């Protein structure tokens, strides 16, 4: 157009340019600027005619009103289908469309069913449950995507290896899997300047909130656990520059993806900053990050492995004792046994229902033998057989629960597990760290300086240690057996240039187990 490769544009009517009046007038002005005329054949309008301006504005207004009216009629028709229980073209992973109603010819002479409804696609539903299970267990979205592609799980379009992080994220945030289908939740609005469309939420009164129990794939507890995990991940990714000034605060990646058992849990009592691993010697040492930046006076460090060992050992001594765990197991066994008392009556009731369905099937077969067969009879037989199969499965499940009821393990088994407790935690560091975070909350380390000790007439400076404050209790990280915090900083100096005890000063963390 800028190179003047044509002199005119012929259209059937102005609505072929755009039904949006603002956009159509913008195009007309742009063509006029480049001295290219528009010829609207049906409207009898030529843009370079000095009398065409009024006609262009009127036709543009009429076309836009027609578009608004068409939108209202379309939405009214779709709303009617929704109220009748039919879907309106939604394509959701985990569901398939199934035709229902009578097959009739439409206005164009094409065969068409009365409507379409959603049904659960069992193969896709298993993949959805797997995604939610792995996400709740603490696995990353990138890891879930990688495993789905490695296992060659098909996508909605049956593309093997076509899974992406955006796809899994949408599945994990889709409330339809809990049976809640909100229709007309969003609307697309076009920017009059750039022409780009943007999605906005509709007011609550315009939305249609439907609950479909037959379409539940994810139960409410699983959905709540997934929301809880999303909340813990909120702010864990770097934010765009445009959103940095909002109230949303970015958090460390370690907060949701800990690399060690206590990563992301430790805070400095002195300044409120994070206690992080500041060096990697002997498995790593924890220290105040602000002290490393010269903004905190707490320069005390503590060996990572030793801190983990003392806290885990304290949990075992105070809470995870064999007696406490045995008590919990015994009470769980009693509670399950109490619920199992109701199973025989429930099995008896379901067997009575199966006998009723069997009688119903025999009556339907007798009706067919008498020569009375119809589509309704066929559908009734299919429905009865489906209910019969469901009852069989429920009876088998109840029998399995009764014969395989939970039994409390012996005390020897509990003792063996507690001995391997630290080893068990280290097998899945990420999941264990998240569990400890939920149990202990934020652990604040407070540096404490003891009073000097007098030995043989010499004043020996005492060595500082940490007090660990958690949701459970305050724990003194002090023990005569071990030397730890900051000891490695001064050991070389002592070895090469030993001094008398009264003149020697060093830091040492000791643990009270």
224 in Cβ contact with 177 (< 8 Å):
no
Domain count along the chain: 4
How many angstroms separate the CA atoms of 200 and 446, rounded?
49
pLDDT given for residue 4 in this prediction: 77
In a domain, 201, yes or no: yes
Residues 305 and 331 in one domain: no
The pTM for the full model equals 0.55
Examine residue 102 and state whether it is found in any structural domain, yes or no: no
Q: Are 264 and 270 in contact (CB under 8 A)?
A: no
Structure tokens at 146: 């990688």
**8 Å CB contact between 36 and 29:** no
Residue 228 belongs to some domain of the structure: yes
- Token reading at 301: 């460090």
169 Cβ contact partners less than 8 Å away, ≥ 6 residues apart: 141
Please determine, for residue 129, whether its predicted confidence score (pLDDT) is greater than 80.
yes
Q: Is residue 245 part of a domain?
A: no
Q: Which residues contact 79 (CB under 8 A, 6 or more apart)?
A: 184, 208
* 434-457 tens-digit pLDDT: 788 877 788 888 888 777 766 676
103: in domain: no
| 300-319: b (≥16 Cβ within 10 Å) or e | bbbbbebbbbbbbebbeeee
Regarding whether 206 and 67 lie in a shared domain, the answer is no
The CA distance from 239 to 241, in Å, is 6
- Where do we find the tokens 């779709």? 78
Which H/E stretch holds residue 313? helix 304-318
Do residue 309 and residue 454 come from a single domain? yes
Same domain, residue pair 176 and 220? yes
pLDDT at position 217 = 93
Residue 283: inside a domain, yes or no? yes
Predicted confidence (pLDDT) per residue in 86-119, tens digit: 888 788 899 988 888 777 777 777 777 788 888 9
Is 271 contained in some domain? yes
**Cα separations in angstroms, 330 against 4, 104, 418, 419:** 88, 63, 17, 21
**In a domain? residue 382:** yes
Neighbours of 320 (CB within 10 A): 16
DSSP summary character for residue 253: G
Query: Do residues 143 and 228 both lie within one domain?
Result: yes
Strand partners, 303: 285
Q: Which CATH number fits the domain that encloses residue 167? A: 3.90.1750.20
Same domain, 362 and 457: no
For 224, the token pair is 């709540």
Structure tokens at 135: 């996400």
342, 199: one domain: no
**Are 298 and 346 members of one domain?**
no
Q: Are residues 66 and 174 in the same domain?
A: no
Interval 253-283: pLDDT, tens: 677 778 888 888 888 988 988 888 888 777 8
Is 181 found in the same domain as 144? yes
State the number of CA atoms in the 13 A half-sphere of 58 facing the CB: 8
Give the CATH number, domain containing residue 50: 3.40.50.1390
Q: Among 210, 239, 268, identify where a domain stops.
A: 239
Write out pLDDT tens, residues 324-382.
Answer: 888 888 888 888 888 777 777 888 888 888 888 888 888 888 878 777 777 777 888 88
Do 159 and 297 have their domain in common? no
β-bridge mates for residue 268, sequence order: 445
Domain span at residue 388 reads: 324-408
| pLDDT tens per residue, range 12-54 | 988 888 888 888 888 888 888 888 888 889 888 888 888 888 8
Q: What is the pLDDT of residues 472-488, one digit of tens each?
A: 655 445 444 443 444 33
pLDDT at 135: 92
Mark whether 184 and 230 lie in a shared domain. yes
Q: Can you name the residues that pair with 267 across neighbouring β-strands?
A: 274, 444
Q: Please tell me which residue, 426 or 484, carries the higher pLDDT value.
A: 426
Domain boundary residue, one of 379, 408, 437? 408
Q: What per-residue confidence (pLDDT) applies to 428?
A: 80
């Amino acid at each position: 157009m800028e190179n003047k490769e044509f002199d005119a544009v012929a259209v059937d009517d102005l609505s072929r340019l755009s039904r949006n009046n603002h956009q159509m007038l913008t195009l007309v002005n742009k063509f006029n600027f480049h001295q290219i005329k528009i010829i609207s054949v049906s409207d009898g309008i030529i843009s370079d005619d000095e009398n065409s301006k009024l006609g262009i504005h009127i036709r543009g207004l009429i076309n836009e009103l027609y578009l608004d009216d068409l939108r209202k009629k379309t939405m009214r028709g779709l709303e009617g289908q929704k109220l009748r229980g039919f879907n309106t073209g939604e394509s959701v992973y985990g569901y398939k469309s199934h035709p229902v109603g009578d097959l009739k010819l439409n206005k164009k002479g094409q065969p068409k069913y009365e409507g379409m409804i959603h049904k659960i696609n069992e193969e896709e539903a298993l993949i959805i449950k797997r995604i939610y299970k792995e996400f709740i267990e603490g696995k990353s979205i990138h890891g879930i995507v990688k495993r789905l592609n490695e296992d060659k799980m098909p996508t909605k379009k049956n593309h093997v290896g076509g899974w992406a992080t955006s796809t899994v994220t949408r599945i994990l945030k889709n409330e339809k899997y809990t049976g809640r289908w909100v229709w007309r939740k969003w609307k697309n609005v076009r920017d009059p300047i750039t022409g780009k469309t943007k999605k906005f939420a509709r007011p609550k009164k315009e939305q249609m909130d439907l609950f479909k129990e037959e379409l539940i794939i994810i139960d409410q507890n699983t959905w709540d656990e997934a929301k809880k995990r999303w909340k813990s991940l909120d702010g864990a990714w770097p934010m765009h520059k445009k959103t940095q000034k909002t109230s949303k605060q970015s958090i460390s990646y370690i907060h949701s993806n800990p690399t060690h058992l206590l990563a992301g849990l430790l805070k400095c009592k002195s300044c409120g900053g994070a206690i992080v691993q500041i060096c990697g010697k002997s498995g790593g040492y924890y220290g105040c990050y602000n002290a490393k930046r010269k903004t905190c006076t707490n320069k005390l460090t503590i060996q990572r492995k030793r801190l983990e060992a003392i806290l885990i050992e304290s949990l075992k001594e105070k809470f995870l004792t064999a007696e406490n765990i045995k008590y919990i197991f015994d009470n769980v066994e009693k509670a399950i046994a109490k619920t199992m008392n109701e199973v025989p009556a429930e099995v008896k009731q379901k067997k009575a229902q199966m006998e009723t369905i069997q009688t119903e099937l025999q009556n339907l077969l007798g009706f067919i033998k008498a020569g009375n067969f119809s589509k309704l009879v066929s559908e009734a037989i299919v429905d009865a057989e489906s209910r019969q199969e469901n009852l069989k499965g429920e009876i088998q499940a109840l029998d399995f629960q009764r014969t395989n009821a939970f039994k409390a393990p012996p005390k020897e088994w509990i003792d063996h597990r507690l001995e391997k407790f630290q080893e068990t935690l280290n097998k899945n560091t990420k999941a264990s760290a998240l569990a400890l975070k939920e149990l202990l909350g934020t652990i604040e380390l407070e540096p404490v300086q003891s009073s000097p000790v007098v030995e043989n007439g010499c004043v020996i400076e005492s060595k500082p240690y940490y007090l660990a404050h958690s949701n459970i209790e305050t724990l003194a990280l002090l023990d005569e057996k071990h030397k730890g915090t900051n000891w490695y900083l001064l050991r070389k100096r002592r070895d090469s240039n030993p001094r008398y005890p009264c003149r020697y000063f060093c830091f040492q963390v000791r643990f009270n187990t």
